[in-house]
Amino acid sequence: MFTQVWNSTSRYFTHPYLILRNYQRGNLRPDLIAGITVAIVMLPQAIAFAMIAELPPQMGLYSAIVASIIGALWGSSNHLHSGPTNATSLLVLTVLLPLAEPGSAKFLALAGLMTVMAGVFRLVLGLARLGILVNFVSDSVIIGFATGAGVLIWANQLRHLLNVNIPSYPALLTTLKEISLHLDETHALSLTIGLVIIVLVALLRAVKPKWPTPLLGMILAAALVGGLQLDQLGVRVIGELPRNLPPFSPLLFNLQAIGDLSTGALAVGAIGLIQSVATSRSIASQSGQRLDNNQEFVGQGLANIACGFFSGYTSSGSFTRSGINYDAGARTPLASVFSGVFVLLVMLIFGPLAAFIPRAALAGVLIVTAYSMIDRVEIRRIFRSTRGDSFAMLATFLATILLPLQFAVMIGILISLAIYILRTSVPKVVPVLPAQNFRHFSHQPGAAQCPQLAIFDILGDLYFGAVNHIEETLRAHLEDNPGQRFLLLRMNSVHQCDISGIHALESIVQYMRERGGDVYFMRINPPVFDRMQSTGFIRTLGESHCLTYEQAINFLYHHILDPAICVYECRQHVFMECQNLPKKAEHALELSIQTEIPAGDVAGITPMELWNELHTAAPPCVIDVREPREFQKKHIPQAQSIPLFDLLSNTSQIPSDENVIFVCHGGRRSTRVTYLYQKQGYKRVRVLSGGILAWENAKLLEAIDQLE
C-alpha cells in the first residue's frame, strides 16, 4: 500500500529532474534573455510589495529569489513566475496586524510561520490531487477581490506618500480617517517626489509599456535623494539592503501562534493558488501548453515552505511577471530560475545603492500599480453578464474593503460555491419541439405543443441537489397540460445520476402511469444508463422505453400516440410524421369519440383467428378505419375502407346483423369504434387486436393498392 502511494506521488517531487533531463541547449539563450528581463521588473516589485506587508525590503527580495526558483522547478507551467504579489502582501499585512507590531521580531516570525502554513496547505491539496477545487472560484470573485485590494493598497500607501507618522490599520475607513486627521503634517518634499514618480511611471507605461518603468522611477528617485541629500531634509528612505544569501530563519512554532494564524493562512493559501492557476491557465491558452493543477499546487506549496524557512514571506504566481516572461520568449521553467539568480546577483553587488530609495517614491509606484489592478473593462463586462456574477463581484469587493481581508477571501470563495450550487441545483428543464426542418429539437416558447406527448430537455445532472427542481418543473407542466399522458425526456445533457436522481425518475414514471400514460427516454449517456441498470430502474421501466434519437418520434407516433386524437382532435402539425395526416378536427362532430382506451368490454380477435374466419363460407366484414392513403399502402385482403370520420358521422352504414371486424394501424382507432358501436347495441362487432402491425408480425398476406 505504501509503495503504491509513493509511486503515485513521487512524480511530483522528481519534476526538476524531468525538466533538466529534457532541457535542450537551444532554449538556453531565450531563457537567459527572459530571465534578465523579468529580473529587472521583479527587483523593484519585490521591494515595493514587501513594503505593502510592512516587512523589510530584503524579505521581499528573499521571497523573489527563493519562490522564483522553487516554484519554477516544481511547478507545472513553463511561464508562471512566482514571488511576492500585491494581493498576498496585503493579505499578510491584514492577518498579522492584530497579532504583532509591524517591524517587531514577533511580526517577522509570524510572517514566516504563516508562509510555511500556507505552503503546507497548498502542498497537501496538490498531493491529494485536489487541483480541481480551484475551478470552483469564479472569475467575478477574483475581479472583485483584485479591485478591493487595489483600493486598500492605494489607501495604505497614502501615509507614505504624505510622509505622515501614523501606523498601519487593517480597516479602510480607519486608515482614511487617520490620514485626514494628520493632513496638516504632510511633508511637502516627500509628496512632491511621490507625485513626480506617479506621473512619470504613468506616462512611461502609456508611451513605452515594455520599459521597466518602476525600476526607472526608483533609480531616478534614488539619484535625486542621494545626489541632493534629501534624506537629511526629512525624506524617508528604505535603507541599505543586506549583501548575503537568503539566511535560514528558525520559525516560531507553537500551538497559540498556529491557531491565531490558521484562518489567515488558509485565506493566503487559497487566494495564492487561485491567482497562480488563473495566471498559468491564461498564458497556457496562448502557448498551448497542457497544465497539471496538482503539480502547480505542489510547486507553490514547496516554494512557500522554502520562503518561510529562508527569511521570506508568502508568494504566489504573478500575472504581470508571468506575462513579461512569456512575451520575452521564455521556453522552459529555467527562465524563472535565471531571473531569481539575477536578482540575487544584483542584491549582492548593488545592495548598498538601495539605501537612497525614498519611501514616497515606492508609494507612488504602488499607487500606480494599485490603479492598474482595477480592471475597468472586465468590470463592465461582468456587469453586462449575469446577475450572479455581478453580485459575486460586488459582494467580494465590499467584503474586501470593509471586512478583515482573510474573511473577505473566504466570503468570495463561499459565494462562488453558492453560485455553483445554485446553478447546478436549478438546471434548465425546457419543453422542446422539432424545428421547422424536423432535423433537431429546440425550445420554442409560445409554440403549440402536441396534445398527447410532452418532450423535455434536461440540461443538467440528476443529483440530490437538483432532482426536486426537475421533478417539480415536470409535474407543474403536466398538471397544466392534463391531455399529455406521455412524456419523452431527452437525456443527452445529463452526465451524472445519483440514487436521488433514480428515485426522482421512478416517481415521475409512477406519476405518468397513474395518469394512464408512460415515460420514454432518448439519448441516455452510457454512465447514466449503467447507473439506471445497476439500480434496477431499467427493469422497472422496460428497455423498450429507451429510444435512440432516430427512432424516438417515429416509434411513439406509430405505436404509442392515439391516431384518433391526432386526426379528430389535434389542430397542430408538430411532428414530421403528422404532416400528411388528414386533419378533421375543424369539422364538428355530433357524436364525440371515446378518446381514452376502455379498460375492458371490447371484443377482440387475433390475426390468425381472423385469417381462418376469412377463409370460411361466411367470412366477416372487415372495415379498415384508417385514412385512404394508409389503406392504399397496405391492407387486409377483402377489407373495406371506411375512414373513422365517416363512421362517426354516420353510424347506420354498418349492418347490425353481420359479423364486423374493425381494423386500424395499431388497434387504438378501431378499439374506439368498436367500443362506440357496442354502446349503441351492436353485438357482433369486434376489433383486430394489434391492428395491421399485428397482422404483419403474423406474416399474413397483405394487399396493396396502386397509389394515384
Q: Cα(638)–Cα(627) distance, rounded to whole angstroms? A: 17
Per-residue pLDDT at 600 exceeds 70: no
What rounded mean pLDDT belongs to the chain? Answer: 84
Q: Cα(26)–Cα(540) distance, rounded to whole angstroms? A: 65
- The answer to the question of residue 575 being in a domain is no
Residue 274: its pLDDT value, please? 80
**Domain containing residue 466: CATH number:** 3.30.750.24
Q: What is the CA radius of gyration of the chain?
A: 39
DSSP string, 467-515: HHHHHHHHHHHHHH-TT--EEEEE-TT---B-HHHHHHHHHHHHHHHHT
Residue 620: its pLDDT value, please? 92
Task: Give residue-wise pLDDT tens across range 367-395.
Answer: 887 888 788 888 998 888 888 888 888 98
Beta-carbon neighbour count of residue 24 at 10 Å?
8
Residue 1: its pLDDT value, please? 47
Do 63 and 201 lie in one domain? The reply is yes
Residue 308: its pLDDT value, please? 93
Task: Give residue-wise pLDDT tens across range 241-298.
Answer: 777 888 888 777 788 889 989 988 988 888 888 878 877 876 786 777 888 888 999 9
Do 80 and 143 lie in one domain? The reply is yes
Per-residue pLDDT at 591 exceeds 50: no
Residue 282: its pLDDT value, please? 66
Per-residue pLDDT at 687 exceeds 60: yes
Per-residue pLDDT at 2 exceeds 50: no
Task: Give residue-wise pLDDT tens across range 131-151.
Answer: 777 767 777 887 887 788 788
Residue 588: its pLDDT value, please? 39
- The answer to the question of residue 587 being in a domain is no
Residue 527: its pLDDT value, please? 92
Per-residue pLDDT at 545 exceeds 90: yes
Pairing of strands 660-663, 685-688: parallel
Residue 537: its pLDDT value, please? 94
Do 386 and 435 lie in one domain? The reply is no
Where a domain ends, among 419, 444, 468? 419
- The answer to the question of residue 693 being in a domain is yes
Per-residue pLDDT at 46 exceeds 80: yes
Do 61 and 112 lie in one domain? The reply is yes
Higher pLDDT, residue 675 or 577: 675
For the residues 93-118, what does the mean pLDDT come to?
A: 91
Do 95 and 228 lie in one domain? The reply is yes
- The answer to the question of residue 12 being in a domain is no
In the chain, helix, strand, coil percent, each to 5?
60, 10, 30
Per-residue pLDDT at 704 exceeds 50: yes
Q: How many domains does the chain have?
A: 3
Do 449 and 497 lie in one domain? The reply is yes
For the residues 297-326, what does the mean pLDDT come to?
A: 90
Per-residue pLDDT at 89 exceeds 80: yes
- The answer to the question of residue 297 being in a domain is yes
Residue 11: its pLDDT value, please? 82
* 481 phi and psi angles, rounded to 5 deg: -130, 70
Do 209 and 318 lie in one domain? The reply is yes
**Domain containing residue 609: CATH number:** 3.40.250.10
For the residues 656-666, what does the mean pLDDT come to?
A: 88
Burial profile 515-549: b = 16 or more Cβ within 10 angstroms, e = fewer: eebbbbbbebeeebbebbeebebbeebeeebbbee
Do 410 and 434 lie in one domain? The reply is no
**CA-CA-CA-CA torsion sign (282, 288, 292, 297):** negative
For the residues 68-79, what does the mean pLDDT come to?
A: 94
Residue 589: its pLDDT value, please? 43
- Poorest-confidence range of 94-108, 243-257, 481-495, 536-550? 243-257
Where a domain ends, among 354, 389, 419? 419
- The answer to the question of residue 318 being in a domain is yes
Going from the C-alpha of 441 to that of each of 426, 435, 489, 566, the distances in angstroms are 22, 6, 12, 20
Residue 271: its pLDDT value, please? 82
**Contacting residues for 269 by C-beta, under 8 A, at least 6 apart:** 117, 118, 119, 121, 122, 304
pLDDT-derived band at 606 (thresholds 50, 70, 90) equals very high
Do 439 and 542 lie in one domain? The reply is yes
Residue 598: its pLDDT value, please? 53
Residue 535: its pLDDT value, please? 93
Enter the C-alpha cell of residue 315: 508568494
Do 383 and 433 lie in one domain? The reply is no
- The answer to the question of residue 501 being in a domain is yes
Specify the residue for cell string 494581493: 87
Do 499 and 382 lie in one domain? The reply is no
Per-residue pLDDT at 586 exceeds 50: no
First to last CA, the chain: 78
Enter the C-alpha cell of residue 355: 539605501
For the residues 171-179, what does the mean pLDDT come to?
A: 86
What length is written for the chain?
708
**Contacting residues for 82 by C-beta, under 8 A, at least 6 apart:** 67, 68, 70, 71, 72, 75, 276, 299, 300, 303, 315, 316, 317, 318, 336
Residue 335: its pLDDT value, please? 94
Where a domain ends, among 532, 561, 590? 561
- The answer to the question of residue 239 being in a domain is yes
Per-residue pLDDT at 307 exceeds 80: yes
Do 486 and 537 lie in one domain? The reply is yes
pLDDT-derived band at 593 (thresholds 50, 70, 90) equals low
pLDDT-derived band at 7 (thresholds 50, 70, 90) equals low
Specify the residue for cell string 445554485: 422
For the residues 651-680, what does the mean pLDDT come to?
A: 84
Q: Is 180 exposed, middle or buried (0-12, 13-18, 19+ CB in 10 A)?
A: exposed
Q: Which domain holds residue 206?
A: 29-244+263-419
